Amino acid sequence: MDDNFSLTKYFRDQYLQEANKSNAEKETDAMRSSTFTAYDEEGEQPYLKESRVDQSKIFDQSEIEEIIGEIREITGILEDGFNSDVEYQEFRFSSGEGGFSFKWAHSRNWGGRFGLSINKDGNYLSAISYYNKNYFGKEKIKSSNTFVQNIETWRDLDDQILISIWAQLQPLVKKNEEEAKLALDREAKAQADYYGAKADTGRIGYGLTQQPRMRNEASINDPVLVKARAAKTEREKIASAPKPKKMRISRRAAELVDGFELEDLERNLRRIYRDMEQEAEAEGGPIADQYADEIDTHEQAIRFIKNQGKEKAQMTYDQAIKESTESKWNAVDVSRKAEKEIGNKEWNERTTKKLDMLKSLNKAGKFKKDWDEDKLQGWVDKNYSWEKLSQQFKINEGSCGYTPDGKPRSKPAGPNLMELKEKIFNSLKK
With a CB cutoff of 8 Å and minimum separation 6, the contacts of 223 are none
With a CB cutoff of 8 Å and minimum separation 6, the contacts of 192 are none
Q: Is-contact 290 416, C-beta < 8 A?
A: yes
The H-or-E segment that residue 118 falls in is strand 110-119
SS3 content of the chain, % helix, strand, coil (to 5): 55, 10, 35
- C-alpha torsion sign, points 292, 297, 300, 306: negative
What is residue 51's predicted lDDT score, i.e. its pLDDT?
A: 52
Pairing mode of beta strands 110-119, 98-107 = antiparallel
CA-to-CA distance for 271 and 421, rounded, in angstroms? Answer: 13
What is residue 130's predicted lDDT score, i.e. its pLDDT?
A: 94
Please give the single-letter amino acid code of residue 352: T
**pLDDT values of the chain reduced to their tens digit, one per residue, 430 residues:** 555 555 555 555 555 555 455 555 555 555 555 554 555 555 555 544 445 677 899 999 999 999 999 999 999 988 877 678 899 999 999 989 999 999 999 988 899 999 999 988 888 899 999 998 899 999 889 888 787 888 889 999 999 899 989 999 999 999 999 999 999 888 888 877 777 665 554 444 433 343 444 444 445 566 656 667 777 787 777 777 766 555 667 888 888 887 788 888 899 899 998 888 888 887 788 888 888 888 988 998 888 888 775 545 445 445 555 665 787 888 889 888 888 888 888 998 999 999 998 998 888 888 888 889 888 998 888 888 888 888 887 654 333 344 444 444 443 444 455 555 555 555 555 5
Residue 90 CA from chain centroid, whole number: 21
Q: Is-contact 169 125, C-beta < 8 A?
A: yes
CA-to-CA distance for 365 and 359, rounded, in angstroms? Answer: 10
The beta-carbon contacts of 303-312 under 8 Å, at least 24 apart in sequence, are 303/247, 304/247, 304/249, 304/253, 304/257, 305/257, 305/262, 305/265, 306/262, 307/247, 308/247, 310/261, 310/262
What is residue 400's predicted lDDT score, i.e. its pLDDT?
A: 39
Domain ranges of the chain: 7-186, 251-429
What is residue 243's predicted lDDT score, i.e. its pLDDT?
A: 61
What is residue 398's predicted lDDT score, i.e. its pLDDT?
A: 37
With a CB cutoff of 8 Å and minimum separation 6, the contacts of 261 are 310
Beta bridge pairs of residue 86 = 104
What is residue 75's predicted lDDT score, i.e. its pLDDT?
A: 92
What is residue 104's predicted lDDT score, i.e. its pLDDT?
A: 94
CA-to-CA distance for 289 and 283, rounded, in angstroms? Answer: 11
Please give the single-letter amino acid code of residue 147: F
